[in-house]
Amino acid sequence: MVYTNRAGLGIRVAASFLDFVILATVIASLIYFITGSFSLSFANGIVWQSIYTLYLMVIPIIWSGYVIGKRLCHIQVKRVDEANVTLSNMFKREIVGYYLIGTLTFGISILVSAGMIMFREDKRGIHDFVGGTYVARH
């Protein structure tokens, strides 16, 4: 089978970087307007990680597989059966596929996933298999 519309590692990393920068800027700006001081130290804590994970789980459900970075990079999370992603898909993908397996393997699974995305024809990483998803390029 030929997978012509699959997003590779580079564009996925670029989209993730954009998401981080945009979300961190918005939150830092809100903190600045509330407290009067500017700091990015919040991005090191569990609160940031929780907000970011919720963002990655919920927004694609509302926005048909997109988050801001993916929309800007013209890539989209899709289910392998081409239906819209669900909370179950995104929970499995983000919580189980990234964080749980990543933590249990001390980050090795993240490196393995990067290699899978780079070298597999279908461009799916461990988190994609766990979530029943892939990332399409438009």
DSSP-based three-state secondary structure for 96: helix
Calpha distance 94→116 (Å, rounded): 17
Task: Kindly tell me if the per-residue pLDDT of 27 is higher than 90.
Answer: no
DSSP-based three-state secondary structure for 134: strand
Task: Kindly tell me if the per-residue pLDDT of 40 is higher than 80.
Answer: no
Q: Which residues pair with 75 in a beta bridge?
A: 137
Chain centre distance of CA 24: 15
The amino acid sitting at 88 is S
Kindly report, residue by residue over 56-75, the tens digit of the pLDDT: 999 999 999 999 999 999 99
- Residue in this structure with the two tokens 């799916």, named with its chain if needed: 124
Task: Kindly tell me if the per-residue pLDDT of 45 is higher than 90.
Answer: no
Kindly report, residue by residue over 70-129, the tens digit of the pLDDT: 999 999 999 999 999 999 999 999 999 999 999 999 999 999 999 999 999 999 999 999
- How many CB atoms are closer than 10 A to CB 132? 18
